[in-house]
Amino acid sequence: MNIVVIGPGKDPERFGTHFVNHCESEGHHVTKFSYRLFRETPEKITERFAEEISELENIDILLYNSIGGFYPSRESNFRSGSVVNFDGWKEGIMINAAMPHTFTSKALYKMNENSAIVYMTSSASYLVNRENYLDLVGYFGTKGVMNQLMRAYSKYNNKNAIACCFAPHIPYENPESAKKVMDKITERILNLTKEDNGKILQCYPPDARIWYHEGGKHA
């Protein structure tokens, strides 16, 4: 398969690199793409991405794995007198919404009904009634936009490609458990079906069972 990974990283114990290494070990062709908004404009990044995938005959999987957009993220950001960092908000919406939007738009030219669009999000991006991490509004909030973007692509993309989100908890502080979760996610991404279209797939330790967010149906 031709697999495009945005945000491959360099640490084999983190998901991006773990996924890339596994795919390459199985003989898949992996195109790795990274970007930094402070180095290039979104337009230049989009142009560079289009050039990067131009020689691919088709794209079987597009995986967006980039992490960023953390403002606001402190309790002090939500008290009287707090000065809003507008650039911080812009960064979050760019990384977690606008950039996956532009990359997917370009990748769709190379996709078909057997292709898949995969975004990595977080359960905190839609479980708003939780009691933990309530200060991480920027990251989880803009990841929530990514969930909405996925849903729109699942319904409207003109190539009938699968679109879904994975919202796991990967316990990096426990390498053995983290590997179990990453292995399960990797296997699932490489074997997506039309049933996964429009779904958010969850995966948590210790058993690394994958299931759909709504209804608790096993995926």
pLDDT tens across 90-120, in order? 999 999 999 999 999 999 999 999 999 999 9
pLDDT of residue 46: 98
Q: What is the span of the domain harbouring residue 92?
A: 2-212
Give CA–CA dist 140/136, Å, rounded. 6
pLDDT for 217 beyond 80: no
- Listed as own residue / partner, the contacts of 76-80 with beta carbons closer than 8 Å and 24 or more positions apart are 77/135, 77/137, 78/135, 78/137
pLDDT for 219 beyond 70: no
| Residue from 173, 181, 175, 172 nearest 206 by CA | 181
DSSP label of 202: E
CATH number reported for the structural domain that contains residue 63 in this entry: 3.40.50.720
In the predicted model, what is the mean pLDDT of residues 173-177?
96
Q: How far is CA 10 from CA 21, 70, 151, in A?
A: 10, 21, 30
In the predicted model, what is the mean pLDDT of residues 39-47?
97
The verdict on residue 104 lying in a domain is: yes
Tokens for 139?
């990251």
The verdict on residue 78 lying in a domain is: yes
The verdict on residue 83 lying in a domain is: yes
The verdict on residue 36 lying in a domain is: yes
- Domains: count for the chain: 1
pLDDT for 215 beyond 90: no
Per-residue pLDDT reduced to its tens digit, 123-161: 999 998 999 999 999 999 999 999 999 999 999 999 999
Beta strands in the chain (DSSP E): 2-6, 29-33, 61-64, 116-120, 162-168, 200-204, 209-212
Give CA–CA dist 140/73, Å, rounded. 10
pLDDT of residue 214: 79
The verdict on residue 86 lying in a domain is: yes
Residue 150, classified by CB atoms within 10 Å of its CB into exposed (0-12), middle (13-18) or buried (19+), is buried
Tokens for 108?
């769709």
pLDDT over 70 percentage in the chain: 98
